[in-house]
Structure 1
């Protein structure tokens, strides 16, 4: 025993020690001419080789050879697996219920929602017969390898004295499958004396843990026979332990004695654990690489990318990208295209899975266009979940209308091949399908828009629908050199929103001309953001700003927020944002006074304390060079704000006095901005149009960032017109 442990470093081998002493295997006729000591030494050497090779071949992970230079140690990157029981997997919710549940959850991803998650190793330790299900790249094979490793450890999580035997079922190609002979071959490789006798003895004692990996990878012509052989073998040697894995879409009938569980997609905690382990080297720890990556992935603009990280295969891809570039690409269309190709092609190719014969005539580009059509149609109908009939009808229509599509293809067979081999379409409940990731559905929908040149229709119908935002960004990336056409069309539609409202046109024109210095986009946006904030005093707002409750949400408040986002996207100086922040105090103070008026408990100290220093940002800005407002205006605002705050009437004052105080605060800004009361008093319809106008312009700027290439001269010409009444007709 000491020899094993000193040679292999703490790996438990008591089970091999027991095999040496096992009845038949220890018999003299098995030893032959060897003495008992010589026989034991041969078994020890073979056992050592068996364990070392398990660690070498089953515990070294190289998922994407094209990107990974060296394999990684399973122990270093393994992330805790969580499982869903069979009841959680077999849901009978209807399409409307699934849609409703997803919308209520309010998070990207079609995962398991509130279903209870079970610890993977705890389940594996407690179940003698276990079937592990999951989609492609979810970590089934890795989980089985880890179970085997924990079995070998001296104090592992699998508290069962067994020898793990890892069998890749894709190698079960023979017409006559002999599982016992496959196991014997595994031991024979490492020169166990009389491997057959060892296997017989171990099976009789219940000392084997057989890991059947990849039931879905068994060639289709031998699948039914392989299932029969596995079940018969389990029945014959049922004092041993068995774990099998299978892609969930290929699992048509339950193994009789097995407990079915499904690997859950990664949650935030698992994603963070994986990243911490991936970037766990001393150098990365010193640089804080994992922390930087986690923070980057958690930013709102990477929400769609983070959804991909729920699948370990794609999280590995994302870690490789970050490891190489130390950032995430702003051109997400390229990133998502590679992620889609990994799912559609590279993963199956790497695992050497024989593709369905259906793909002999149904080439990959044709398949991608089909998926793009399904993605766009369902997205347009605001359906994230759809029936099998819905999918097969679209497959049939697509194939019948495609000149080079093979005539023999059957829609049901195509759907099954896509579902089983790639998992890009997933059956979430009985007869209810969705794409594996919302992010990939958005990418495919964008691909359909570009391939069919439907950019104009996209803008006309969906420009201000925020659920289409990611699609717009991806379309921009996919259009390559043509993206300026998208930007111009968005600009035209944005102008159409305010065209019926002369007051809004005057408002926009005011921001374009009423400043000192050059008319930069960020300055125009800042002026509009400040004026919008001031005008909110006339429009009851809602939500929660800095902990101050506000009870009515206005379109104008949303417009003000979007205009501020445009300023940030235009990379202004700190002074600009400081002045906007001070102007934002107007709606906050309006809310405080409204709350006092309806009897909410807000103290004088709380009210005044919240905005007591709002003039400081303006005062600081007045002390530095700035081209948004002239220095005289800034100085005047700072002095007037300081004076006005000092005469706050207090919460016990009559409401009319409080209301008048707020109006005077608003007037300070109106005078400084060279406006009048009427010019910042908007109707609901005008406020709604202004919000749409700002949103379209902000989206346009983000689309520019997502584009692969934009001509500098063309962009500068367009940028000069944004947030102005100049439509470029004279150019």
Structure 2
């Protein structure tokens, strides 16, 4: 069809006052000729949206009627207008172009049923039935730089992944530039998409096929989807060209058009095919070189076509000079949200999607696993059944590892290399446990390839059916490392020659498994020695969940926690006060919980400690201390808040706030100032606690305060600067005399750090006892009764 210059068409569009959208459609279609689909794709809009724009165009030119006649009537008018300028018309499309377009349309319609059958649905893991790909598909992001090819040092990785403060590093670092998967394909005619197991490579390729056959992406091409494993194992070892017609046959519902081979050849020679080659890593070793040669020969012969091929990272050393390599990025938070919402929408249970996301937001370790699409699918399946994640996290991790270590390849009948197959499933887990523990113990989350290989060699020297020759052993060590990465994705090359576990969660799990499998008291003692270290917390919880009897480990943890303050006389005095004060109140709680309450209360006015000793996470509540406190505890808490507020000079006259100590009082006095809060406490003492002497002293002290309002704020500040220190001292004296609280311990910075360690260790101990682990009733009772006691008291109770 006749084509008109863009400049001329733009001038006409402006003359007839077309809108921007109408102008874009008008210029595109009359410059191209009559290819509506190509014009719509060029504008990145649907054919329906394009037609809507053109309807407006015809109205502006006052061209009525229906059907294609409007297009041609307007074209005749435009040609006439152009001829008036004295310029020559652009040449019409050749008959060859029209012929190829006709072939593309015919063959695309023929392959549509095959593509829809093979690529339109998804069924993985234990899904009971397939699910429509379009209803669940989440857009893929691509890293243009393959992570394992970067030349970085371990220090650089720590900085990029932010683990200096022991943050999680399962997510792709935000420093890496991401682009949309479709954009990456559009930018590169020949693309190899690399990715970890379960990263969504095949799903992405299937989505490309569906978009193409539906003319929503590369609408001028025919999608050809080839599973390379099936091609490699086809009897007779056909060439890739010979295999093309066969790739449609098993799923075809219509008879092939006459002369299909000739038509395919014409389409390929004109570069009008989207060649999708899935799973290069799934090809057996015996077929590998033949298939590589076939792909290279085919890509050279038909180089004008678009090629996209998928392969696992580290599968083999491939060299495709014509192809650009990119990597599938982990899911980010938006992709996770999109996937989960779509998943449960298809299950007609959107409420469960909201619950799932809420659970994910509060659990960083499960959130870390969700960055892998396959593991996210597993999480959705688990949550679908139980509406929650298992309390014993080791069970969930075991299921995830079972998917990566066994099910994912087995369900697709994929066989991997022989070196790694010499290790049984049990041996593989033993190897991963050995590596995880040896690196985690040293705080090594990233490690050199050479070091990893040495440790693998040490392990396989003691494994049966493995070669013992040192040279072969070293080669086997390299093969095993690469196999773990390629087959299971549990170890990843984060930069050239530097590895880590794919998720810190899995390194923690295998570290705990090593401790459990070795059944060594020395290992339990070593684990207990880390009771004050935050990075070991999850290992403790996982180990306890795995052990058939956690009694011994809990005893060792308790002993370590007790020793933290054992050598400091002043801190032992403090614990003595905690014990005595707890014994003096008559409340219906376990003494361990009461001691936890008073330990927190005594430290709450120190803002450096109060921040960490947040009441919502204190030992007291973990030990089942009611939020509705008994009167003694409630009064002591209220008075302690008064003292803490008085000590906080900066905020004293700016409304009563809890400063992170506890928010219970604000439920009584939202936005009320300190004096009003003190009035409440005076009433509380008189009516609930019936202590007239204390009430009288607090009233006298309250009357010393000036009337506080925003109008006399400066006067109040002046008064406080002159009298605040003495006033606070009186309040402290009253609290010590009547309630034995409010002591000024004046801890040094070192002592504060020791107290924080002591608190954290005991918090971990209680969390472990409250987890799903078995501990003998006698030991549980003993631990609860001796929590937070001074060391002398503990030793006294241990005497026969």
TM-score (norm 1): 0.81
Shift of residue 611, structure 1, vs aligned partner: 5.4
Match of 1:354 in 2: 415
Match of 2:765 in 1: 700
Shift of residue 183, structure 1, vs aligned partner: 1.3
Match of 2:654 in 1: 605
Show structure 1 runs of 5+ residues with no match. 1-9, 13-17, 27-39, 542-553, 597-601
Q: 2:191·2:307 contact (CA, 8 Å) conserved in 1?
A: yes
CA 1:427–1:23 in 2, change beyond 3 Å: closer, same or farther? closer
Q: Separation in 2 of the partners of 1:665 and 1:19?
A: 98
Q: Secondary structure at the match of 1:498?
A: coil
CA 1:221–1:297 in 2, change beyond 3 Å: closer, same or farther? same
Q: 2:640·2:742 contact (CA, 8 Å) conserved in 1?
A: no
Structure 1 residues 247-256 or 215-224, which shifts more? Answer: 247-256
Q: 1:134·1:248 contact (CA, 8 Å) conserved in 2?
A: yes
CA 1:112–1:559 in 2, change beyond 3 Å: closer, same or farther? closer
Q: Secondary structure at the match of 1:724?
A: coil
Shift of residue 20, structure 1, vs aligned partner: 14
Q: 2:578·2:598 contact (CA, 8 Å) conserved in 1?
A: no
Which of 160, 165, 173 does residue 233 from structure 2 map onto? 173
Q: Separation in 1 of the partners of 2:799 and 2:367?
A: 44
Match of 1:471 in 2: 539
Match of 1:503 in 2: 573
Spell out the pairing of 1:63-462 with structure 2 (5 A cutoff).
Answer: 63-65=124-126, 68-86=127-145, 90-103=149-162, 107-110=167-170, 111-154=172-215, 156=216, 158-171=217-230, 172-173=232-233, 176-189=237-250, 190=252, 191-193=255-257, 194-250=259-315, 252-281=317-346, 283-285=348-350, 288-299=351-362, 302-402=363-463, 407=468, 409=473, 410-452=476-518, 453=520, 454-462=522-530
Shift of residue 380, structure 1, vs aligned partner: 1.4
Match of 1:567 in 2: 620
Shift of residue 242, structure 1, vs aligned partner: 1.0
Q: Separation in 1 of the partners of 2:372 and 2:489?
A: 12
Shift of residue 574, structure 1, vs aligned partner: 2.6
CA deviations 1:528-574 (Å, max 9, x no partner) are: 2112214x2xxxx4xxxxxxxxxxxx4x4466448952123234333
Shift of residue 580, structure 1, vs aligned partner: 8.5
Q: 2:108·2:222 contact (CA, 8 Å) conserved in 1?
A: no
Q: Separation in 1 of the partners of 2:464 and 2:683?
A: 68
Q: 2:114·2:248 contact (CA, 8 Å) conserved in 1?
A: no
Q: 2:190·2:324 contact (CA, 8 Å) conserved in 1?
A: yes
Q: Secondary structure at the match of 1:255?
A: coil
Structure 1 residues 633-642 or 272-281, which shifts more? Answer: 633-642
Structure 1 residues 103-112 or 264-273, which shifts more? Answer: 103-112
Structure 1 residues 56-65 or 315-324, which shifts more? Answer: 56-65
CA deviations 1:431-466 (Å, max 9, x no partner) are: 111111110001111111222224433344311110
CA deviations 1:242-288 (Å, max 9, x no partner) are: 11011121253452222221111111111111111111147412xx2
Q: Secondary structure at the match of 2:320?
A: coil
CA 1:717–1:206 in 2, change beyond 3 Å: closer, same or farther? same
Shift of residue 370, structure 1, vs aligned partner: 1.4
Q: 1:134·1:140 contact (CA, 8 Å) conserved in 2?
A: yes
Spell out the pairing of 1:514-525 with structure 2 (5 A cutoff).
Answer: 514-520=584-590, 521-525=592-596
Q: Separation in 1 of the partners of 2:227 and 2:634?
A: 63
Q: Separation in 1 of the partners of 2:642 and 2:226?
A: 69
TM-score (norm 2): 0.75
Which of 688, 692, 710 does residue 753 from structure 2 map onto? 688
Count of matched residue pairs: 663
Match of 1:3 in 2: none
Structure 1 residues 275-284 or 439-448, which shifts more? Answer: 275-284
Spell out the pairing of 1:666-685 with structure 2 (5 A cutoff).
Answer: 666-667=732-733, 669-671=735-737, 673-675=739-741, 677=743, 680-685=745-750
Match of 1:589 in 2: 645
